[in-house]
Amino acid sequence: MVSSIFSFALSIFFLSSFALSLNSIITDKHALISFKNFITSDPNAILSTNGSENTSVCNWIGVSCGLKYHRVTALNLSGYDLAGTVAPHLGNLTFLGYLDISSNSFTGILPFELSKLRRLKVMNVGANSLTGDIPAWLGSLPQLEELYLNDNTFSGWLPSDICNNMSNIQILSLSNNRLEGQISPNIWKCTHLDVLLLSFNNFSGNIPPEIGRLSYLTQLYLGHNSGFQGGVPKEIGNLSRLELLNINNASLTGDIPSSIFNIFSLRFLSFSDNSLSGSIPTFHNLSKLEELYLNNNKLRGWARNEMSNRETFIRTQTIATIGYTAPEFGMEGKVSTNGDVYSFGIMLLEMFTDLTLFRMPHHIDAHHQPAQHATISSTQSAIFSHQIDSETTSRVEG
Ligand SMILES: *[C@@H]1O[C@H](CO)[C@@H](O)[C@H](O)[C@H]1NC(C)=O
Ligand SMILES: *[C@@H]1O[C@H](CO)[C@@H](O)[C@H](O)[C@H]1NC(C)=O
Ligand SMILES: *[C@@H]1O[C@H](CO)[C@@H](O)[C@H](O)[C@H]1NC(C)=O
Ligand SMILES: *[C@@H]1O[C@H](CO)[C@@H](O)[C@H](O)[C@H]1NC(C)=O
Ligand SMILES: *[C@@H]1O[C@H](CO)[C@@H](O)[C@H](O)[C@H]1NC(C)=O
Ligand SMILES: *[C@@H]1O[C@H](CO)[C@@H](O)[C@H](O)[C@H]1NC(C)=O
Ligand SMILES: *[C@@H]1O[C@H](CO)[C@@H](O)[C@H](O)[C@H]1NC(C)=O
Ligand SMILES: *[C@@H]1O[C@H](CO)[C@@H](O)[C@H](O)[C@H]1NC(C)=O
Ligand SMILES: *[C@@H]1O[C@H](CO)[C@@H](O)[C@H](O)[C@H]1NC(C)=O
């Protein structure tokens, strides 16, 4: 008797927990069906052939479920040319940790309901046509580590309190949007930022010195913005892990603070296409530096440093034929300006260090293709963010 009551109770318990988990995967299924219904164009027919309502959602293309609770934990529909708006129902995928709908043609805003995704670690909606402000609620996703909103048409200011609760954020990619106004000094509250991409926007005002407090930063992209008043804050020199700093074409004025040339970890540095003036700070110990771009500024200083020997110069000249014009050099009569193009920055670097530093990409070896190199420099952000993307992918997979 006792044992049958016990087993009855037990079976109730199992039934109800089964019903609970069934209920939940049904919620997930409803959410995904709604997501599907908001999609207006699916040229590769990935959702119709492979998202049929009779199969478990866990077998749908791009959907992964967790083993333990059998709930949807990842949704990856990157690069399928999907068009439509983002269904608010996605916010019901409460176990979702990874969301990637990048490289599609989604339009509209990011619905507020996504703020219910309390377990989300990675959100990638890059390379779509999303509009509206950067939602402040993104800052309240407690687990968020990587956020990609790049290559959309988001506009307005970056919310000043977005970093208040984003203590886990490591990658913040907002490049190539229509963001404007000042970069909030509160950016330093995203204390674990590793990569910050804000290039190709319309940011203005000062570059906040508080960026210098982001001590984990390894990559900082601020180039191609409307124009930063004032110069490069010397506090950036405090970023002792920085490997990549790119602030090209951003109307910078003033001197380059010598602190920048003390960041031992630097591999890539570009201040090209600004109005920086003064002399180029001396540097002796940037042993990791591979690429340096200071071209198209009002800098002085290279002429004061005599070339150590003719060998260096010739080697430089050869390497330099793939880079930029530097009319100053032509004026010195050392290199003809007639079609002679070279990387002023790289040459400088060699003058200072007497090293051959540039790793020549195999596809830029002809000196009659200077434009190609210029293209590489201006799309540097894209190249590096591509690398980040693939790294992210493998990290998530691993
Ligand atoms: C969906 O597509 C994947 C790969 O294309 C395939 O492995 C899977 O069996 C398909 N699922 C259904 C339900 O058709
Ligand atoms: C799904 O299942 C229902 C009932 O089990 C059936 O009537 C329907 O034809 C099935 N649909 C597809 C697309 O297989
Ligand atoms: C899921 O989300 C939608 C829209 O956000 C909502 O209307 C619906 O009630 C939610 N719940 C379930 C269980 O589908
Ligand atoms: C940050 O979190 C705290 C406590 O969890 C909350 O009260 C506050 O509203 C959050 N702030 C933002 C900007 O999300
Ligand atoms: C950038 O802002 C300026 C005014 O501050 C405006 O004239 C310009 O159109 C904006 N550019 C873009 C690409 O939004
Ligand atoms: C830079 O770092 C040093 C030591 O780590 C600290 O004393 C100084 O206040 C920092 N400067 C700024 C502007 O953050
Ligand atoms: C710098 O930015 C302006 C405005 O966005 C653009 O017109 C110009 O071509 C850019 N210059 C370079 C060298 O990329
Ligand atoms: C150069 O930097 C390295 C690493 O930070 C350091 O160990 C070395 O002493 C420095 N050399 C000089 C000459 O400053
Ligand atoms: C997401 O999907 C794309 C395209 O199918 C694939 O290349 C990428 O590896 C996937 N990412 C993850 C984390 O599964």
> Residue 257 is part of a domain; what is its CATH number?
3.80.10.10
* Residue span of the structural domain in which 143 resides: 10-303
Q: What is the pLDDT of residue 189?
A: 96
Atom 2 in ligand 8: which residue has the minimum CA distance? 285
Question: Is the Cβ atom of 374 under 6 angstroms away from ligand 9?
Answer: no
288 CA → ligand 8 middle, Å: 11
Ligand 4, from 134, 140, 144, 163: best to mutate by most atoms within 8 Å of Cβ? 140
Number of domains in the chain: 1
* Residue 12 burial (CB count, 10 A): 10
Instruction: List CB contacts of 135: < 8 A, sequence separation 6 or more.
Output: 109, 110, 112, 115, 159
Q: Report the alpha-carbon distance of residue 145 to residue 162 in Å, rounded.
A: 13
- Ligand index nearest the alpha carbon of residue 296: 7
Look at residue 257 and tell me if it is in a domain: yes
- Specify which residues 72 forms β-bridges with: 65
Kindly tell me the burial class for residue 284, based on how many C-beta atoms sit within 10 Å of its own C-beta (0-12, 13-18, 19 or more).
Answer: exposed
Look at residue 111 and tell me if it is in a domain: yes
Work out the angle between the directed axes of helices 370-378 and 380-397 (0-180°, nearest 10): 50
Q: Report the alpha-carbon distance of residue 203 to residue 201 in Å, rounded.
A: 6
118 CA → ligand 9 middle, Å: 22
Question: Is the Cβ atom of 165 under 6 angstroms away from ligand 4?
Answer: yes
Name the amino acid, one letter, at 234: K
Look at residue 334 and tell me if it is in a domain: no
188 CA → ligand 6 middle, Å: 14
Residue 6 phi/psi, 5-degree rounding, is -60, -45
pLDDT along the chain (398 residues), means of 10: 51 47 80 94 79 78 91 96 97 97 97 96 98 95 96 96 93 98 96 97 96 97 93 96 97 93 91 90 78 85 33 24 30 27 42 36 28 28 30 29
Tokens coding 29? 């299924």
- Ligand index nearest the alpha carbon of residue 46: 1
Q: What is the pLDDT of residue 227?
A: 87
Instruction: List CB contacts of 108: < 8 A, sequence separation 6 or more.
Output: 85, 86, 130, 131, 132
Look at residue 309 and tell me if it is in a domain: no
- Which string of b and e fits 221-252 if b means at least 16 CB within 10 Å? bbbbbeebeebbbebbbbbeebbbbbbbbbeb
Look at residue 179 and tell me if it is in a domain: yes
Look at residue 323 and tell me if it is in a domain: no
Look at residue 47 and tell me if it is in a domain: yes
Atom 7 in ligand 9: which residue has the minimum CA distance? 78
Report which secondary-structure segment, H or E, holds 202: strand 202-205
Look at residue 321 and tell me if it is in a domain: no
Question: Is the Cβ atom of 378 under 6 angstroms away from ligand 7?
Answer: yes
Atom of ligand 4 nearest to the CA of 164: 13
Query: In whole angstroms, how large is the CA radius of gyration of the chain?
Result: 26
249 CA → ligand 7 middle, Å: 6
Q: What is the pLDDT of residue 312?
A: 25
Q: What is the pLDDT of residue 376?
A: 27
Q: What is the pLDDT of residue 34?
A: 94
